[in-house]
Chains A and B, each alone.
Chain A
């Protein structure tokens, strides 16, 4: 059975003393259908506004190389300092974007939207390979993912797979068709990286019905997808594209004159593949409800995805309307970023508290603690993103990071901490246990009391 607190905690970013939880599944879905208020209120620059940073950084690197080769040590030093300064500025931008994302989660009346953005950003994990790309990651999420989380999966897939950030992360932009014009001039060829992860992680899943031959053929099909920061971002390069037919997942693509349309046709097809429906459905249920998902719940969501042709709103409706969405006990553990965001929310902190912080302060209070909890902001180890299992997060070292943060950072961010028992009630609602209430009242200091409430399993699970 639906209840507002579970809606806010399991499908949102937690309870807040100021913001009412959703009152029904319909209200949750209506929130998603409505305008994206948080994006307007707390802006994050889209990727398209960050394109200049790529050539700018390249110029600085080149200047340094030129000075070194010329043996001009003073010029080399100057170039190095300029590059460092630029890198630092990019680093600061990254911290601001992180703060903005956390603040949106902390302040939103529409928590499901933020959760979906984070879910899809993780599903389509991309990691910056150089300072401008690292910084532009937030822009990738903002323009390729966020606007599409309530649309059709095929649209989302097109936006993500052909995005410069994904193309460069998984080496697609340098992959060259062996029979392309470019390959005839210089010895270059295919790179399978994106093709494999597109099938294994993004669509049909590792248990899906694909083979090495599909990976290879898809790698051929994807040649031509490139990135040009000076020409607006994505750029189709016919000269590196592989001509001829490609057979992927039993269907035929491509023609003698290679073109972008064939790639898009494949993305539209794979978006509605039955294996994709199952893979996406399972990931949604695992992420929101249980590490050991109810097969009936997964089947229900997969059916909605398949029947609607990959429409995401009916898919979420199926996720939320199934009884298991509400009947399941709180077994998931909030990943560190969700833990931090929901803690800020429970404390009534948001954009105002974070935006005034100096960069070093943000590193100390947010970025470094997230790394200590094992979730450095948007930099998982590989394209499979963050783990889901509670056991992966709650290790001695991971829990130590959470405890330390919970006991210290709220006090630093707030001049006066809330009265502990009232705080426990606001943060936990019906999940407040007598033990937590006792701890809140019997800790020797207020910062320990607040820390214990946040450190309690009742707060960290959902």
Chain B
């Protein structure tokens, strides 16, 4: 069996619902006793998702006027969620999830980030989870990493950052795994030893080289060390061919699911292209289709594990309440968070609706954030892992006041 097909088969084998541990195809990896049984996936939606377009408050009398030409509002039909909000048609494939009580939203939420409306500071703040924009000189520390430090008996596989980029949300003192679905690496035993030697005095290189070799072996256990240069080149060629095929976002979801079926409990990745300044009707449709595909892939590939899973999709800020002059929206403040999964208490749009009249907007421009988006993440963590409120408010999200919020997890 070629490397390609075997790898696909390995990913799929687990997806059919047989537990990874029982599959004779899986490696004899030791299944460390994971700290928790539930699973948490955080998807960072980079670019500032327009919450008002995704979950449309058509019941607000101001909405139609603000969004003329951008978000059609006569949708009490199949898009209606609860008589006030309607779902963007590009997410209609999630309707069964909503009906099964496995999908919910929090509207008019934001991080404490205000006013400069920079993607990059906004994302830093979302991922750091604090109340201030982290300075470039401070150590990067993401809230999922700080959560991990609270997990009894966590190890490097407990949390997984998936994709090619380094995710701030998982950066920090606790060791986590980082890998991209199409990455592969095989080296001869001697080359591995020599690599260890040449990287030995540089911890960044030494640690990441060791981790790369370990992960490559764990993920493709049957890949053999190259016997000659032809093997090595073939492996690279196949990896590159693989990465050019198929949809990147679906691969992220498949890979994430394959890890969560094993010992991983927390995973994060990002989906880009939410910065819809222009032609939003067209551009957001593409991004939403991807998000929908990702959620459906996770549901399908996780199998029974989906029942123990909560997926949180969060963005750095919402967008202007009013459509701009080019069929899009500019950077705003209050936005939307999505929660999905079998563990989620679904079928509800949470939040305190601020209204859309000019006086109700933030700086007469943006949807007014009425709740801290971190509260919902904290509630999800509490529901999934039983984390103490004091830890959530003091360590995971420093400075957060969770108040008395409804449960978001079953």
Q: Which residues of B contact A191 (CB under 8 A)?
A: 277-278, 324-326, 328, 330
Tell whether, in the assembled complex, residue A171 and residue B277 are in contact, meaning their CB atoms are under 8 Å apart: yes
Interface residue stretch chosen among A104-112, A340-348, A363-371? A363-371
Contact of A412 among B116, B233, B331 (CB under 8 A): B233
Q: How far is the CB of B355 from chain A (nearest CB, A)?
A: 21
A30-38, A306-314, A393-401: which lies at the interface = A393-401
Determine if B326 and A196 form an interchain contact, defined as CB atoms under 8 angstroms apart.
Answer: no
- B209 interface residue per 8 A CB criterion: yes
Smallest CB-CB separation from B168: which chain A residue?
A: A392
- How far is A196 from B119 in the complex, measured between Cα atoms in Å? 10
Q: In the complex the two chains form, is B185's CB within 8 Å of A404's CB? A: yes
Which residues of chain B in 203-237 are interfacial with respect to chain A, using CB atoms and an 8 Å cutoff? 204-205, 208-209, 211-212, 215-216, 229, 232-233, 235-237
Among A318-363, those with CB < 8 Å from B are: 333, 363
Q: Which residues on the B side are within 8 Å of A435 (C-beta)?
A: 197-198, 200-201
Task: Answer whether residue A65 sits at the interface, using C-beta atoms and an 8 A cutoff.
Answer: no
* Residue of B187, B236, B365 most packed against chain A (CB within 10 A): B236
- Residue-wise, chain B 158-181 has the 8 Å CB interface mask toward A (1 for contact) of 000000111000010000011110
- Please encode chain B, from 269 to 301, with 1 for each CB lying within 8 Å of some chain A CB and 0 for all others: 000100101100000000000000000000000
Closest to A240 in B: B325
B6 within 8 A of A: no
B240 touches A292 (CB 8 A): no
Task: Give 1 or 0 for each of A282-294: 1 = CB within 8 Å of chain B CB.
Answer: 0000000001100
Q: Is the CB of A396 within 8 A of B194?
A: no
Residue pair A443, B191 in contact (C-beta under 8 Å): yes
**Chain A: minimal CB distance from B25 (Å):** 23
Q: Which single residue of chain B is at the shortest CB-CB distance from A183? A: B325
A373: min CB distance to chain B, Å:
8
Query: Main secondary structure on chain A at its contact with chain B?
Result: helix
Closest to B171 in A: A391
Distance, CA A404 to CA B186, complexed state (A): 8
Query: Does B2 have its Cβ within 8 Å of any Cβ on chain A?
Result: no
- Known contacts being A374-B165, A399-B205, A455-B195, is A211 close to B178, with CB within 8 Å? no
Chain B residues in 8 Å Cβ range of A407: 187, 191, 232
Is A63 interfacial (CB 8 A cutoff)?
Answer: no
Asked if A136 is at the interface (CB within 8 A of a chain B CB), the reply is no
CB contacts (< 8 Å) of B69 on chain A: these are 187
Would A384 and B195 be within 8 Å (CB), given that A196-B331, A396-B212, A444-B190 are in contact? Answer: no
> Taking A374-B165, A394-B204, A435-B198 as contacts, is the C-beta distance between A206 and B118 under 8 angstroms?
yes
> Which residues of chain A have C-beta atoms less than 8 A from B197's C-beta?
435, 438-439
> Are the CB atoms of A372 and B182 closer together than 8 Å?
yes
Given A171-B278, A407-B232, also A206-B191 (CB < 8 A):
no
| Max chain A C-beta neighbours (<10 A), residue from B182, B198, B244, B331 | B198
CB distance from B333 to the nearest CB of A (A): 10
- B47 interface residue per 8 A CB criterion: yes
Please, what's the 1-or-0 string for B358-395, where 1 marks a CB less than 8 Å from any CB in chain A?
Answer: 00000101000000000000000000000000000000
Q: Which residues of B contact A390 (CB under 8 A)?
A: 204
Measured CB to CB, the closest approach of chain B to A235, in angstroms, equals 18
B104-135 toward A: CB 8 Å interface, digit per residue (1/0)?
Answer: 00000000000111111100000000000000
Please give, as numbers and ranges, the residues of chain A lying within 8 Å of B154 by CB-CB distance. none
Interface residue A245 (Cβ < 8 Å from any Cβ of B): no
With A206-B118, A371-B243 as given contacts, are A188 and B191 in contact (CB-CB < 8 Å)? no
Known: A397-B183, A457-B202. A372 touches B243 (CB 8 A): yes
A228 interface residue (CB < 8 Å to B): no
Is residue A40 contacting chain B, with contact meaning CB distance below 8 A? no
Q: Does B325 contact A399, Cβ atoms closer than 8 Å?
A: no
Check: A95 CB closer than 8 A to any chain B CB.
no
By the criterion CB–CB under 8 Å, are B272 and A212 in contact? no
Asked if A442 is at the interface (CB within 8 A of a chain B CB), the reply is yes
Contacts of B46 in A (CB 8 A): 381-382
The distance in angstroms between the C-alpha atoms of A141 and B213, with both chains bound, is 38
Q: Which residue of A lies closest to B180 (CB)?
A: A397
Shortest Cβ distance from B267 into chain A, in angstroms?
14
A374 to B178, CA, bound (A): 13
**A452 is contacted by which of B182, B184, B195, B202 (Cβ under 8 Å)?**
B195
Least CB distance, B3 to chain A, in whole angstroms: 13
A192 touches B330 (CB 8 A): yes
- What residues of A have a CB within 8 angstroms of the CB of B140 in the complex? 391
A408 proximity list for chain B (CB < 8 A): 229, 232-233, 236
Contact pick for A189, options B171, B195, B326, CB 8 Å: B326
B99 at the interface (CB under 8 A from A): no
Instruction: Determine the chain A residues whose CB is within 8 A of the CB of B328 once the complex forms.
Output: 171, 191
Contact of B208 among A174, A193, A399, A442 (CB under 8 A): A399
- Give the residue of A192, A396, A456 whose beta carbon is less than 8 angstroms from that of B198: A456
Give 7 pairs: A residue, B residue, CB < 8 Å, sorted on A: A212-B363, A212-B365, A369-B240, A396-B179, A448-B191, A457-B202, A457-B205
Closest 10 A/B residue pairs (Cβ): A189-B325, A457-B202, A396-B212, A439-B194, A368-B240, A400-B185, A396-B211, A397-B180, A374-B164, A191-B326
Where the two chains meet, the residues of B that have a C-beta atom closer than 8 Å to any C-beta of A are 46-47, 69, 115-121, 136-137, 140, 164-166, 171, 177-180, 182-185, 187-188, 190-191, 194-195, 197-202, 204-205, 208-209, 211-212, 215-216, 229, 232-233, 235-237, 239-240, 243-244, 272, 275, 277-278, 324-326, 328, 330-331, 363, 365
Interface residues, chain A, with chain B CB atoms under 8 Å away: 170-171, 174-176, 178, 183, 187-193, 196, 200, 206, 211-212, 215, 291-292, 333, 363-364, 368-369, 371-372, 374, 381-382, 384, 387, 390-392, 394-401, 403-405, 407-408, 411-412, 433, 435-436, 438-439, 442-445, 447-448, 451-452, 455-458, 460-461
Extra 19 A-B pairs, beta carbons < 8 Å, given A391-B171, A401-B183, A452-B194: A192-B324, A192-B331, A196-B330, A200-B116, A363-B240, A364-B240, A368-B240, A372-B182, A372-B183, A372-B243, A391-B166, A394-B205, A397-B183, A400-B216, A411-B233, A438-B194, A442-B190, A443-B191, A457-B199
